Amino acid sequence: MTTRSEPFRVAVLGATGAVGQRFVTLLTGHPWFELTALAASERSAGRTYRDAVSWIQTRPIDETVAAMSVHTIDELMDHDFDVVFSALDASVARDIEPEFARRSLVVTNASAHRMDEGVPLLVPEVNPDHLALLPAAEDGADLPRGIVANPNCSTIGLVLALKPLASAFGFDRIFVSTLQAVSGAGLPGVSSYQILDNVIPWIPGEEEKLEIETGKILGRVRAGTIEPAEVAVSAQCNRVPVVDGHTLCVSVDLKGDPRLEDVREAWRSFRAAPQELGLPSAPAQPTVYLGDDAPPQARVHRDLGRGMTTSIGRLRECPILGYRFVALSHNTLRGAAGGALLAAELAVSRCARRGGE
């Protein structure tokens, strides 16, 4: 796919955390990216990755990666990486990511720079054209510098379900109620005493992210900036005792009174740039419609398309907004490391081709 023969050299910042571990797992054996450096806090630096990490993935750590040293962020600052994946907390990411972005393409899961004017908030199937916000690659470089941000994990499932509807019909108003997995809270996250036998109908900052990010992602590039889509989003977010997989109950006012069958077909036939380019992390189908009587369920459907497919079901009429449905998206794969990896694949694939033109 890319015109380069050697792999892209990549680093992971925040490699010991929940999302960092997902990055490490997905990068192991990746056909384009070679994991060359790991960084975390001073607490972990100087140790091997095996000793520094509390590994929570079902797949064992790759032996080569386990033996790698964990560095401080400062130790990696002057190195030249092609791509830097960031799984840092937003408070740490805010100052650090722009520093790395001067020398590398930074693809981040942190929220610190999502709404910055020059930062694409990228879901590769939804707004691949937003990569145009990145400054052009400098002479001699075959990759751009800058930050590409992964949206909030709930927003990603929402916009994947909405994009085929935006293209086919359009809408102005959305109501979404979420049921979000505990893995979205990172490590250590919510305590077992808080979440077992319980639903917590408040996730600080989450509703605002869904309401603001959706407009940016569905917006248009105009004169080097994003003109947000004019869509009103009302979100209510709940933490539920599920390990992985965010469920979204959505109502939307589709324009033109489409038949329910046309709405189902919009999801079934949806394909986009990652599928056309055959990117390594792209699912064959970004959205699947499971059926009117087949609701998406976290434990059953979250791993569809290797955790990159959004499952949708229970389309029916809504007495208030016209249409309603249920969607499910894997929050730490599509909603975090997997989504960021796909974004990086799209960016390097576009640029390598641009460099070859």
Write down the least CB distance from residue 106 to ligand A2P, Å: 14
Write down the least CB distance from residue 284 to ligand A2P, Å: 30
Among positions 165-204, residues that touch ligand A2P (CB under 6 A) are: 186-187
Q: What is the 3-state secondary structure (H, E, C) of 302-353?
A: CCHHHHCCEEEEEEEEECCCEEEEEEEECCCHHHHHHHHHHHHHHHHHHHHH
Q: Which is nearer to ligand A2P, 48 or 275 (by Cβ)? A: 48
User: From CA 170, how far away is CA 129, in angstroms rounded?
Assistant: 19
Q: Which stretch binds ligand A2P (CB under 6 A): 84-92, 98-106, 247-255, 303-311?
A: 84-92
Write down the least CB distance from residue 231 to ligand A2P, Å: 30
73 lines the binding site for ligand A2P (CB under 6 A):
yes
94 lines the binding site for ligand A2P (CB under 6 A):
no
312 lines the binding site for ligand A2P (CB under 6 A):
no
- Taking each helix axis from N to C terminus, what angle separates 153-168 and 206-217, rounded to the nearest 10 degrees? 40
How many residues bind ligand A2P (CB under 6 A)? The answer is: 17
Among positions 256-285, residues that touch ligand A2P (CB under 6 A) are: none
Write down the least CB distance from residue 52 to ligand A2P, Å: 7
The DSSP code sequence of 34-102 is: EEEEEE--TTTTTSBHHHH-----SSPPPHHHHTSBEE-HHHHTTS--SEEEE---HHHHHHHHHHHHT
Q: Which is nearer to ligand A2P, 65 or 279 (by Cβ)? A: 65
Task: Tell me if residue 21 falls in helix, strand or coil.
Answer: helix
User: From CA 102, how far away is CA 293, in angstroms rounded?
Assistant: 51
What does the block give as tokens for 290? 């499971």
Give the other-Cβ count within 10 Å of 172's Cβ: 13
Write down the least CB distance from residue 14 to ligand A2P, Å: 3
- 153 among known catalytic residues: yes
Q: Which is nearer to ligand A2P, 73 or 290 (by Cβ)? A: 73
CA atoms within 13 A on the CB side of 246: 33
Contacts of 6 (CB under 8 A, 6+ apart): none
Among 88, 112, 250, 352, binds ligand A2P (CB under 6 A): 88
Write down the least CB distance from residue 339 to ligand A2P, Å: 16
Beta 246-252 vs 322-329: how paired, if at all? Answer: antiparallel
106 lines the binding site for ligand A2P (CB under 6 A):
no
136 lines the binding site for ligand A2P (CB under 6 A):
no
18 lines the binding site for ligand A2P (CB under 6 A):
yes
Catalytic residue among 71, 113, 130, 153: 153
Residue 14 Ramachandran class (φ > 0 left, ψ -120 to 50 alpha, else beta)? left
Q: In this structure, what DSSP letter does residue 135 have? A: P
Give the other-Cβ count within 10 Å of 92's Cβ: 16
Q: Which is nearer to ligand A2P, 88 or 168 (by Cβ)? A: 88
User: From CA 107, how far away is CA 33, in angstroms rounded?
Assistant: 13
- 237 among known catalytic residues: no
Compose the 19-58 pattern: x for residues touching ligand A2P by CB under 6 A, - for all others.
-x-------------------xx-xx--------------
Among positions 198-257, residues that touch ligand A2P (CB under 6 A) are: none
Catalytic residue among 71, 130, 246, 330: 246
Q: Which residues of 276-293 are buried (b: 16+ CB within 10 A; e: fewer)?
A: ebebbbbbebbbbbbeee
Q: Which is nearer to ligand A2P, 20 or 157 (by Cβ)? A: 20
14 lines the binding site for ligand A2P (CB under 6 A):
yes
Q: Which positions touch ligand A2P (CB under 6 A)?
A: 14-18, 20, 40-41, 43-44, 73, 87-89, 92, 186-187
Q: Which residues are catalytic?
A: 153, 246
